[in-house]
């Protein structure tokens, strides 16, 4: 027999799963708490019991999408032995994921608008954005790039990737745009290599 805590967690997970589908298909503005409750097959009061606002539901969805995205990108990056090649491959995977409807809508279109840039960055820093300082440190430790302050370099590269991902998700030919930006990012990384 399930405990009260297990039932609560199961209900919360159902709400987040339904909200993820709804936000991904319709976007934040078009989704309602009634839609989310119906999608999770719970009463609207149960949604409000777990989440005070639609924005709070969205933040939980954003967090889960970010976790899943990074897990996918880690699989892609691990195929590379060189730290900069791994960064490039992971970033190309990020562009590809953000070019797809639900992920792009949640992470790049609605994320900054609903959460605000500061909160968006805080969450991203725990997931995709947090990979950049670690990858750069690994590249420096391996002697692939020169030792230098990591934080400014990570922010500059992450800013470039974020801008590119926004362009990719809004581009008319998403596949070509993503490939072009991935190639340009790889060139940026290659310019950092110790000669």
Q: What's the pLDDT tens digit per position in 28-77?
A: 999 999 999 999 999 999 999 999 999 999 999 999 999 999 999 999 99
In three-state form (DSSP H/G/I as H, E/B as E, the rest C), the secondary structure along the chain is: CCCHHHHHHHHHHHHHHHHHHHHHHHCCCCCCHHHHHHHHCCCHHHHHHHCCCHHHHHHHHHHHHHHHHHHHHHHHHCCCCCHHHHHHHHHHHHHHHHCCHHHHHHHHHHHHHHHCHHHHHHHHHHCHHHHHHHHHHHHHHCCCECCCCHHHHHHHHHHHHHHHHHHHHHCCCHHHHHHHHHHHHHHHHHHCECC
* pLDDT on residue 175: 63
* pLDDT on residue 66: 96
Q: What is the pTM of this model?
A: 0.88
Mean pLDDT within 99-120: 90
Query: Is 97's pLDDT higher than 90?
Result: no
């Amino acid at each position: 027999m399930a405990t009260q805590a297990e039932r609560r967690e199961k209900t919360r997970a159902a709400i987040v799963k339904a909200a993820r589908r709804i936000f991904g298909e319709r976007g934040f503005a078009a989704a309602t708490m009634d839609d989310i409750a119906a999608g999770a097959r719970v009463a609207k009061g149960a949604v409000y019991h777990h989440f005070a606002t639609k924005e709070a539901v969205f933040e939980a969805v954003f967090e889960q999408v970010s976790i899943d995205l990074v897990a996918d990108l880690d699989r892609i990056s691990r195929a590379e032995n060189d730290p900069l090649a791994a960064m490039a491959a992971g970033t190309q995977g990020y562009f590809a994921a953000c070019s797809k409807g639900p992920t792009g809508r949640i992470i790049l279109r609605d994320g900054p608008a609903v959460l605000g840039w500061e909160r968006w960055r805080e969450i991203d820093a725990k997931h995709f954005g947090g990979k950049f300082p670690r990858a750069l440190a690994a590249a420096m430790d391996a002697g692939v790039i020169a030792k230098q302050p990591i934080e400014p370099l990570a922010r500059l590269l992450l800013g470039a990737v974020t801008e590119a991902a926004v362009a990719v998700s809004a581009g008319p030919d998403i596949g070509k745009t993503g490939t072009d930006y991935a190639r340009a990012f790889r060139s940026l990384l290659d310019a950092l290599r110790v000669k």
